[in-house]
């Protein structure tokens, strides 16, 4: 008779005598605690913030020279403020301020801020803000990331207590209240309750319901011609009698819905490309759920980019493809293009990267949230859910621009009682998607934290990929005020390839810089082409050499594409239609 097998007999013993089942249990307990804590902190790791603070505080405590410098700065600022107060008492509003707001700071522009006592209030705030920046930075021994985190947190706290945020210290809000007999405050309170209710029910912002894909957004005619568990591939109908032989494949970021590039007809990049005689294909990513937790970066490359290329190649054989990627989609496309070059897959005619990073050593303020402590905390949150939720992701982006996205909104909506009209871009921004546990963890670790793509450690199909292998012409677009993919970071594509690179720097930010249709107000750009055998210019030298042009960069890009395309032909047939564009995946909540 065989002895019965007990669970304890099957437990694997670790070198120190602990069983694997016991280790898994304790690991699960840790993850559960961190996940629950993350719900209260918005996904930010308290340990990461504490580590940055203590690094700064300990080094500052051991730096008497820095302390003396800060004391001297405080004394000088107090003297400047005292001198300004005296001049303001004598000259009134004609007294020149002792400190000017930063160019992007629009909080204190009104004439009301020049009157007593509000002139003293906002001037003292700006001086305090400047002093805290000095205190948070240039402390010897503090790591650069910890310094950035401390400076960032100090800025967040100061922005929270800005005099513009409170009725008693905001003369413009007081003026509005007197003019309207307090009606603005009543409307503001109603706005607050409405926003609170929509947030609790996970609803969209007020006015966003007026913008719907397939009705007044994403309306460029087309068909979904392919679908798998991760993407729908849209082929857009031709709008001209002839088209260029080479089709365009657009790979958008999976962090948001694809129709950022097909908004209203007036500012749709897709509609513009079709009107210029191109056959356009668009990837529409599925909004993943808990069942997709194990989809990784390789799945996104294979089921996304490569699957779309295979469909296009079957429909239009022997034609080069103008591959275009936006934001994370551009990073993924760069990985796919590197693997294709390595494997001598020559289906790409050109490669266009829109606000897409390939080197993450200067990844902007988003890198504040990327270190081992923060990633471990975030991974535990995603481990519990199976994905990163849209609200958790949006919170981090709002923090990066809290003055614009949080406090200025609160001032208008709650103190002034004004609702900013909803736009197509704002409605799209509220239509976020989730990200699978495995893919997001791999993306943050392997690209943001370890920079594996730029340093040759990233693998596709089990073999290393290198951007250096890409030989097709590259068109890369950065945006001057991009806080997600800073232009100096996207400019690094020059260092990573030996291909011909045309780099274009557009005005605007991460979204508005890309959605810059012809006729767009104040649109301008700089552009310069570096041949494969020409020397490298760093960002500052590049900016001094690249000529500035007025208008939309779309026209420049289309001219570049036309120069690398064949003579126009009759439009190709449409692929087998599964449904009309915009498809079904884009409608998933």
Place of tokens 């089921």: 303
Could you tell me the sign of the dihedral formed by the alpha carbons of 13, 17, 20, 21, in that order? positive
> What are the tokens at 465?
């990929």
The whole-angstrom separation of Cα 395 and Cα 336 is 30
Residue from 185, 274, 327, 333 carrying the catalytic annotation: 327
DSSP 420: P
The set of long-range contacts for 147-156, using a CB threshold of 8 Å and a minimum separation of 24, is: 147/56, 148/365, 148/367, 148/368, 149/48, 149/49, 149/52, 149/368, 150/52, 150/53, 150/56, 152/365, 152/368, 153/49, 153/52, 153/53, 155/129, 156/399, 156/402
The whole-angstrom separation of Cα 284 and Cα 269 is 15
86, 94, 112, 113 from 89: Cα distances, Å? 5, 10, 16, 15
Q: Evaluate whether 130 touches 101 at the Cβ level (below 8 Å).
A: no
The set of long-range contacts for 28-33, using a CB threshold of 8 Å and a minimum separation of 24, is: 30/380, 31/380, 31/383, 31/384, 32/384
The whole-angstrom separation of Cα 434 and Cα 295 is 12
In SS3 terms, 120-169 reads as HHHHHHHHHHHHHHHHHCCCCCCCHHHHHHHHHHHHHHHHHCCHHHCHHH
Query: Cα Rg for the chain, rounded, in angstroms?
Result: 27
Active site (annotated) includes residue 579 = no
Of 121, 107, 102, 126, which is closest to residue 172 (Cα–Cα)? 107
Backbone angles phi, psi at 359, to 5 degrees: -125, 130
Backbone angles phi, psi at 301, to 5 degrees: -70, -50
Contact residues for 44 (Cβ-Cβ < 8 A; gap 6+): 38, 369, 374, 377
Q: Evaluate whether 274 touches 446 at the Cβ level (below 8 Å).
A: no
Q: What region does 182 belong to: left with phi over 0, alpha with psi -120 to 50, or beta?
A: left
Q: Evaluate whether 226 touches 312 at the Cβ level (below 8 Å).
A: no
The whole-angstrom separation of Cα 42 and Cα 390 is 11
| Helices and strands (H and E) in the chain: how many | 22, 15
Annotated catalytic sites, by residue?
A: 327
């Amino acid at each position: 008779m065989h002895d019965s097998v007990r669970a304890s007999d099957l437990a694997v013993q670790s070198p120190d005598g602990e069983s694997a089942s016991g280790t898994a249990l304790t690991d699960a307990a840790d993850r559960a605690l961190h996940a629950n804590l993350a719900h209260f902190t918005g996904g930010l790791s308290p340990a990461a913030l504490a580590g940055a603070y203590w690094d700064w505080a300990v080094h500052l405590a051991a730096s008497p020279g820095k302390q003396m410098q800060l004391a001297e700065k405080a004394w000088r600022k107090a003297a400047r403020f005292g001198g300004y107060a005296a001049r303001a008492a004598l000259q009134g509003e004609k007294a020149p301020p002792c400190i000017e707001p930063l160019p992007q700071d629009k909080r204190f522009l009104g004439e009301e801020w020049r009157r007593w006592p509000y002139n003293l209030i906002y001037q003292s705030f700006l001086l305090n803000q400047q002093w805290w920046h000095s205190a948070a930075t240039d402390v010897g021994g503090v790591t650069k990331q910890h310094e950035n985190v401390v400076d960032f947190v100090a800025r967040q706290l100061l922005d929270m207590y800005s005099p513009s945020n409170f009725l008693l210290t905001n003369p413009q809000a007081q003026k509005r209240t007197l003019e309207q007999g307090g009606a603005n405050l009543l409307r503001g309170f109603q706005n607050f309750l409405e926003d609170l209710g929509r947030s609790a029910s996970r609803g969209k912002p007020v006015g966003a319901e007026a913008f719907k894909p397939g009705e007044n957004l994403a309306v460029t005619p087309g068909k979904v011609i392919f679908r798998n568990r991760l993407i729908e591939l849209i082929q857009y109908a031709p709008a001209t009698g002839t088209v260029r032989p080479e089709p365009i494949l657009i790979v958008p970021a999976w962090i948001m819905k694809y129709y950022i590039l097909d908004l209203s007809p007036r500012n749709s990049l897709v509609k513009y490309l079709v009107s210029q005689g191109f056959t356009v294909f668009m990837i529409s990513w599925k909004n993943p759920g808990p069942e997709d937790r194990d989809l990784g970066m390789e799945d996104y490359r294979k089921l996304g980019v490569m699957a779309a290329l295979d469909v296009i190649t079957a429909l239009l054989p022997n034609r080069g493809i103008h591959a275009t990627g936006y934001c994370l989609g551009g990073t993924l496309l760069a990985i796919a293009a590197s693997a294709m070059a390595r494997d001598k897959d020559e289906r790409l005619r050109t490669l266009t990267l829109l606000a897409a990073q390939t080197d993450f050593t200067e990844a902007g303020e988003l890198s504040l949230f990327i270190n081992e402590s923060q990633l471990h905390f975030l991974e535990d949150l995603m481990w519990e859910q199976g994905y990163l939720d849209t609200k958790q992701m949006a919170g981090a982006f709002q923090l990066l621009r809290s003055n614009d996205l949080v406090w200025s909104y609160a001032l208008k909506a709650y103190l002034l009682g004004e609702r900013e009209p909803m736009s197509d871009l704002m409605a799209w921004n509220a239509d976020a998607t989730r990200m699978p546990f495995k893919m997001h963890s791999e993306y943050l670790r392997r690209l943001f934290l370890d920079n594996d793509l730029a340093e040759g450690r990233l693998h596709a199909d089990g073999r290393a990929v290198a951007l250096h292998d890409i030989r097709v012409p590259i068109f890369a677009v950065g945006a001057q005020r991009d806080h997600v993919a800073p232009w100096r970071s996207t400019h690094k594509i020059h260092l990573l390839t030996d291909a011909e690179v045309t780099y274009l720097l557009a005005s605007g930010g991460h979204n508005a810089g890309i959605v810059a249709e012809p006729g767009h107000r104040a649109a301008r750009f700089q552009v310069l082409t570096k041949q494969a055998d020409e020397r490298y210019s760093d960002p500052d030298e590049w900016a001094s050499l690249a000529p500035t042009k007025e208008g939309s960069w779309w026209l420049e890009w289309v001219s570049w594409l036309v120069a690398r395309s064949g003579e126009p032909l009759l439009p190709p047939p449409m692929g087998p239609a599964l449904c009309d564009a915009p498809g079904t995946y884009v409608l998933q909540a």
